[in-house]
Amino acid sequence: MKRKMGVFANIRQWPVVATLAFPYVTYASDVNSIESQLPADEIKQGCYVLFESASAVADEDSLGTPPQEINVKWKCDDLPSQLLDTYEIEGGAPKIVTSFIRNRSHIVVVAKWHICSLTSDFCGYLYRIFLYQYVERSEGNDFINTHKMKGEKLTGMEGIRDGKRVSFPLRSKEAINAALDRLER
């Protein structure tokens, strides 16, 4: 058999050559920062919720890119932003599943973390629903973290636990609103 010669003969080696030749190029897999917004005009005109990634403190022995936490901020027009919460690393980096405004006064955020633990015999996602209630005050606007009052009913897992599939049904706006309506009765 004749072996192909020329530029395209060793195409599998090109990523290595490209990495050596262009070490300062940022590849898509290296980009971890996220920034997204939830318009909150229903709560207050000209305001929005900002989800901003922040590098978590990485252990010097860790492999790979540093994990990302998510800062949740309230921002109105040209005023300074107000930090509402930080979703920290819990097994894995947090990801926002959905967010929406409820009853013109609550911000609802669903976040998930990928977790695989041999100790607890679980592999899948931890889901947590966060609720922030807007309260207008004479000395300034404020938010109350009402998810802490609701307790564990707003947290769940989806994946394989003890060899059985478990699921967390509260991921859509409709399912979350129905569950919160039941909790508020």
Q: How confident is the model at residue 15 (pLDDT cuts 50, 70, 90)?
A: very low
- Distance between CA 158 and CA 162 in Å, rounded? 12
pLDDT tens column, 50-109: 999 988 766 666 666 667 899 999 999 888 999 999 999 888 899 999 999 999 999 999
On whether residue 168 sits in a domain, the answer given is yes
pLDDT tens column, 125-174: 999 999 999 998 777 668 888 876 666 578 999 999 999 999 999 989 99
On whether residue 52 sits in a domain, the answer given is yes
Range of the domain at 110: 33-184
On whether residue 16 sits in a domain, the answer given is no
Q: What is the pTM of this model?
A: 0.74
On whether residue 19 sits in a domain, the answer given is no
On whether residue 9 sits in a domain, the answer given is no
On whether residue 21 sits in a domain, the answer given is no
Give the chain's domain count.
Answer: 1
On whether residue 2 sits in a domain, the answer given is no
